[in-house]
A = this chain, B = another copy of it.
Amino acid sequence: MKVGFYQFRPLFGRPKHNCKKILTALENIDADLVVLPELALSGYYFKDKNESLKYAEDPDKSFHLDRMVELANKRNLHLIIGFAEKRINECYNSAALIGPHGIEHIYRKTHLFNEEKFCFDPGDTPFIVNDIKGVKIGIMICFDWAFPEVTRVLALQGAQVICQPANLVLSFCQQTMLARCIENKVFAITANRYGMDKRPHGTLKFTGKSQIVAPGGKLLHRAASQRDELFITEINPREAESKMLTQHNDVFADRRPELYSLLTNKN
């Protein structure tokens, strides 16, 4: 399976430009699955929910997502793209799984980062696994990395490849995803953006370094910090089927859920 990411610098509030940038970069691509950054069409640093609603798109009638479906159809691939999702009065920080015939799934970010809490509603979609050409895919977005529960819940459902659109500003995620791939023996693709969102209410700089990690925590590739990069590589998702960390340790079978009950207690 040919998988990868496209790391670029979306411009704030310029979805047409950002959409065209993606379409051009992926014009002649040969891949099965490409992960794009979080909020790749709108840019990231909204002031409040009024503003995020202004730039959010209803996936049932989004000009830009329709272009992504066309691209997926033309190149016969799947895309995972972060976008601001409008649903009447709700606004979610979402990721769409897009196949050659349309949107196949939408995941709404569960764990909102910092000021996102003033711009988005918390996600209400369960963690589920999607099938792409027989390969099981799990989706998380950016700050979900800080919660080991996310990758675990996806991996326990059989996810072989974790796809993570991101707009990272902290430095912890990339290294932590190695731990996620050790403890769950999965692949993980982190598609981060770079550059800055300079807004009247503040400036944020994003960290780039998009990466692909193999089961066991092996870093297959990490992009530079502040540069466009389209990276595609061949992986064998079946490597994620074995959960053996040693000859006698299956990291899933060895779990002791009867001792973990606190994890699902309500706060």
Write the residues of chain A forming the contact surface with B, with a CB cutoff of 8 angstroms. Answer: 110-115, 117, 122, 126-127, 143, 146-149, 152-153, 156-157, 170, 172, 175-176, 178-180, 182-183, 217, 245-249, 251-267
Contacts and interface: CB of A to CB of B under 8 A. Distances in A.
A126 B266 contact: no
Contacts of A127: 259
Contacts of A122: 256
A153 B262 contact: yes
Contact of A152 (B148, B252, B267): B148
A260 B112 CA distance: 16
Contacts of A157: 262
A106 to B, nearest CB: 16
Contact of A248 (B114, B247, B261, B265): B114
A228 to B, nearest CB: 28
Contact of A182 (B112, B176, B255): B176
Which 10 residue pairs are nearest across A and B when measured between Cβ atoms?
A: A148-B148, A179-B179, A114-B246, A176-B179, A149-B260, A264-B264, A114-B248, A263-B263, A153-B262, A257-B264
A264 B267 contact: no
Contacts of A143: 249
A144 to B, nearest CB: 10
A247 B267 CA distance: 20
A115 B246 CA distance: 9
Contact of A183 (B146, B262, B264, B265): B146
Contacts of A172: 179, 182, 217
